[in-house]
Amino acid sequence: MEIKNKVAVVTGAGKGIGRATALALAKEGANVTIASRTMSDLQSLAREIGNVGRKALPVEADLTRESHVKTIIQKTVDNFGGLDILVNNAGIGLFGRVEEFSTQDWDQMFEVNLRGLFLCTRAALPYLKKKNESFIINVASLAAKNSFVGGAGYAASKWGVLGFSKCLMLEERDAGVRVLTICPGSVDTHFSRHSQTKKDTILKADDVSHTIVEAIKMPQRAMISEIDIRPTNP
C-alpha cells in the first residue's frame, strides 16, 4: 500500500506503541485520527504530526463505551472523507495470580483489550471495505502465545485478540482488507517497568511502529498476517 494521503485511525495513541505508530504513519504521508483517554497527550502528538506536514484529528475516547467508538470512526470519515488503515493498539495490563485476581480487574481488561478492539473493527469495516485496499493491525502480545505466573487474565485477553484476528483475516481477505496481528515482547514504554540494564536491550516503540509500517507497504497481493517481534538479547 502507498501510505501517502491515506487515512488512518490509531487507538491508544497517547503513549508508547500507539504514539510511535501514529507518528510513523504521518511521516509516510498519512492523515491520522488519534484516540485515547487523555486529550493532553493527543494534543502534544497532534502538534508533532503537524510538524511533519500531515493532519491529525485528536479524539478523546473510552473504548469501553460503544458510543465513543462510533464517534471515533464517524469523525474520521467526516473530516477526512474515508478510512484506509485501522490500528487497534489500545490495551491495558493488570497482573496477579488467579486466586487473588478481582472480577473488576478481569472485566476491565477484557473490556478494553478485546471488546474495544471488536467494537472499533466492526465500526470501521464498512468504510475499509469501500477501498480497493485497506488494512487492520491488531496489536496483541507475545503473551498471546506464552504463559507466565500472574499473567492469566492478560494472556487470555491477548489470546482472544489473536483468535479474533485469525478469523477476521479469513472473513475479509476477499474484500481487500488485510489483517495483521503483531505480537511484541517487552517494549520500553510506560506499560512496562524495567531496570536500566534491561532498558538498553528490550524493544523500543519505534521498532514496533517500523514493523507495522513495512507490513502495510507490502504489495496488495502479499499479506503478512502475523508477526512476533522480540528482543534479540532479552
Distance CA(120)–CA(70), nearest Å, equals: 8
Known catalytic residue at 127: no
Q: Which member of 127, 135, 154, 164 is catalytic? A: 154
- The number of C-alpha atoms within 13 Å of 60 and in the hemisphere containing its C-beta is 7
For the chain, the 3-state helix, strand and coil shares in percent, each to the nearest 5, are 50, 15, 35
Distance CA(146)–CA(47), nearest Å, equals: 38
Nearest to 18 by CA among 92, 82, 74, 70: 92
**Which residues are bridge partners to 181 per DSSP?**
138, 226
Query: 90 exposed, middle or buried (CB, 10 Å; 0-12, 13-18, 19+)?
Result: buried
What are the backbone dihedrals phi and psi of residue 161, each rounded to the nearest 5 degrees, phi first? Answer: -60, -40
Active-site residue numbers? 154
